[in-house]
Amino acid sequence: MNRHLPTKLQELNPKTAHICLGIENFITSKLKTPLKGSVLLVALSGGVDSSTLLIILSCLAQKNGCRIHAAHFNHQLRPEADAEEAHVRQLCESLHIELKVDSQDVTAFASRHKLGLEEAARMVRYKFLERERRALNADWIVTGHHANDLAEDVIMRLIRGTGWPALGGMEGKCNNRKILRPLLSTPKETLISFANACSLYWCEDASNEDENFLRNRVRSQVIPLLCKENPAFLNAITSLWELAQIDTDHWSALIKQYLENTDFNTPTLLKEDLESMSQATRLRVYKAVLSSMGKGQPLQQNLLALDAAWQANVGGKIVQFPGNKIATIRKGAIYFSYR
């Protein structure tokens, strides 16, 4: 049961106010997102991350003229799900924040669509959040992902074999999906100390301990070893993430420039364009063209094979890609099509 929770900057002690203003600065200068006058929908699970996020945004709302809403999805997966929903309702009430709740039998949805439980839960949750965002005409769905989540994400991407800049981890701002992650450079430890300073009560999700999930094994086994070697490891990760965001902008602009006149029904890369690109650019342009053609992720080895064939100028050479896509080299140009 939460008694009085802060809803203004002035109600925070100097240390928690500092955390709050640091997050405001992260949103405006690193995520390059103006807060002034915005409408934010917080994805609220009831855990410490999103509950603290809600308090922080409430405290920043008055100063910035924002409107804050919350949305909670009850996945009906764990015995404590209803208690969590009740907790979330009470939290929003004490913060005077309007809350939308939805619920669905995720297990049934997963088996109907032949999906893993985690993936199914994420799908239905984000569908609900996006529906609510539109209904409220909110600018962003705001999530509680923090620096420890980011570190886990980077390690999982490293394990799977992710290229650059995707290796740098999840986006801080996803313009397509309208998702904003203001806590991405804040360690979980900082959020917990903030929550404790506010005497916030929160729910612990027992499934976070389940070692059947890769993420939880990375969290409990890998990250502690890395933090032991470098106590500032989370800072190293957020620096890497920042560089990746900057590089993403570089590559997006370059790709856009090369593809702006491309007809995506019959994508063609012209000889003179290809010759003006570095190999690093060509590989990313191939990937962008293939992605625009629909499902099927090209492997780095496929992309390198295409580039090697182009460099060797192997006329008539056809390179195949997942999703029935093919690339044909003819007179120094590359023609993309379906098989």
**Residues in the annotated binding site for ATP:** 45-50
Binding site for a second copy (CB under 8 A): 29, 154, 158-161, 163-165, 167-168, 214, 217-218, 221-222, 225-226, 229-230, 232-233, 235-236, 239-240, 242-244, 246-247, 249-250, 253-254, 278-281, 283, 300-301, 304, 308
Output the smallest distance, CB 222 to a second copy, in A.
5
Q: What are phi and psi of 33, to 5 degrees?
A: -125, 115
**Burial class, 10, CB count within 10 angstroms (exposed 0-12 / middle 13-18 / buried 19+):** exposed
**Opening angle at CA 278, ends 276 and 282, nearest 5:** 90
Considering beta carbons, is residue 110 or 237 the nearer one to a second copy? 237
Q: Under DSSP, is residue 117 helix (H, G, I), strand (E, B) or coil?
A: helix
Q: What are phi and psi of 201, to 5 degrees?
A: -100, 135
Does residue 336 contact residue 326 with C-beta atoms inside 8 Å? yes
Q: What are phi and psi of 147, to 5 degrees?
A: -65, -30
Structure tokens at 300: 């780095």
Considering beta carbons, is residue 125 or 284 the nearer one to a second copy? 284
Considering beta carbons, is residue 11 or 249 the nearer one to a second copy? 249
Considering beta carbons, is residue 68 or 269 the nearer one to a second copy? 269
Output the smallest distance, CB 194 to a second copy, in A.
24
Structure tokens at 168: 């740098």
Number of H helices, E strands in the chain: 13, 10
Output the smallest distance, CB 147 to a second copy, in A.
13
Considering beta carbons, is residue 142 or 223 the nearer one to a second copy? 223
C-alpha span between 212 and 198 (Å, rounded) = 34
Output the smallest distance, CB 96 to a second copy, in A.
37
Structure tokens at 171: 């986006």
Output the smallest distance, CB 155 to a second copy, in A.
8
Output the smallest distance, CB 73 to a second copy, in A.
29
Nearest Cα neighbor of 283 from 225, 334, 209, 211 is 334
Neighbours of 180 (CB within 10 A): 24
Considering beta carbons, is residue 10 or 252 the nearer one to a second copy? 252
User: Which parts are annotated binding residues?
Assistant: 45-50
Considering beta carbons, is residue 89 or 215 the nearer one to a second copy? 215
C-alpha span between 134 and 119 (Å, rounded) = 23
**Opening angle at CA 228, ends 225 and 229, nearest 5:** 95
Output the smallest distance, CB 172 to a second copy, in A.
15
Cα atoms in the 13 Å half-sphere on the side-chain side of 213: 15
